[in-house]
Amino acid sequence: MSNNTESFVVAIDGPSASGKSTVSREAARKLQVMYVDSGAMYRGMTWKAVREGVDVTDADAVIELMASTEWEFFIEDLVLKFTIDGEDPTDHLRSEPVRERVANIAVIPEVRVFMVDRLRETAEFGPLVMEGRDIGSVVFPDARFKYYLDADPEERARRRALELQETEGSGDVEQVLSSLARRDKIDSTRKTAPLQIPLGAKVINTTGMTIDEVVDLIVSEVNAERATSSVS
Ligand code: DC
């Protein structure tokens, strides 16, 4: 991995419902660079496990399943997309069975090695904004731009509940709060690449900020650097 491929990587990490996804997508659109949602890949693997009836806490079974999975990556409207065994999994990635199991898939070191390799390869497509949990710490430790987005737990639960009400017709803040706490615990205490603030990352607490404010902060910083350096 050369520094060249990392010269225009904007790494955005943080816990779920920190505002990361919306901010990353919008920042990429404004910067006119590719957007990569790394969590979607962990969710994709989880979707396959659920579909095949594989127990996600059985690492050996998951690793065996992963070895027989065909991934194809492509870019559509500056967004990295993929198929799994020829199927587009997008509509299933946010479903309840996937949501509740994905953190278990993401603790398996072999799964992480596979995903990190694929994620690094995406930089060959060109400049990008990538969001996740370990982008600035593991995937692109030399990324030129690193952000860590966070928000108070109650605010994150409120946002996620609103999202669920829109997509699934119901979302209870208390229930979401405990589900997020459970996932945060798995994500931040796992042995391989736990959720952490990457070295050199700028921390933004998005509680009380609008999406536009966070996006503008990131885009203006990146553009200012671009204007004064050879980053293009
Ligand atoms: O960002 P998300 O909610 O789509 O992430 C889904 C799960 O995948 C979550 O449990 C954390 C995990 N994940 C990870 O471990 N590393 C990443 N780079 C991205 C996601």
232 in a domain, yes or no? no
182 pLDDT higher than 90: no
117 in a domain, yes or no? yes
169 pLDDT higher than 60: yes
Give the number of the atom of ligand 1 that is nearest the alpha carbon of residue 16: 3
50 in a domain, yes or no? yes
For ligand 1, atom 15: residue with the closest CA: 106
Ligand 1 centroid to 37 CA: how many Å? 9
What residues contact residue 132 under an 8 Å CB cut-off, 6+ apart?
A: 11, 12, 13, 37, 38, 39, 119, 139
Q: Minimal CA–CA distance to 109: which of 138, 148, 71?
A: 138
45 CB under 6 A from ligand 1?
A: no
231 in a domain, yes or no? no
CATH of the domain at 60: 3.40.50.300
32 φψ region: left (φ > 0), alpha (ψ -120 to 50), beta (else): left
230 in a domain, yes or no? no
112 CB under 6 A from ligand 1?
A: no
pLDDT in tens, 142-158: 999 999 999 999 999 99
Domain range holding 128? Answer: 9-223
For 211, other C-beta atoms within 10 Å of its C-beta total: 14
State the DSSP code for 87.
B
User: Residue 73 and residue 118: Cα distance in Å, rounded?
Assistant: 9
State the DSSP code for 198.
P
4 in a domain, yes or no? no
Whole-number Cα distances in Å, 103 to 126, 150, 189, 198: 29, 18, 11, 20
For residues 98-107, one letter each, b for 16 or more C-beta atoms within 10 angstroms of the residue's C-beta and e for the rest, the string is bbebbbbbbb
Residue 214 tokens read as: 């966070």
pTM of the model: 0.91
Count of the separate structural domains present in the chain: 1
SS3 of 37, please? strand
For 197, other C-beta atoms within 10 Å of its C-beta total: 16
Say if CB 206 and CB 150 are below 8 A apart: yes
pLDDT in tens, 55-101: 999 999 999 999 999 999 999 999 999 999 999 999 999 999 999 99
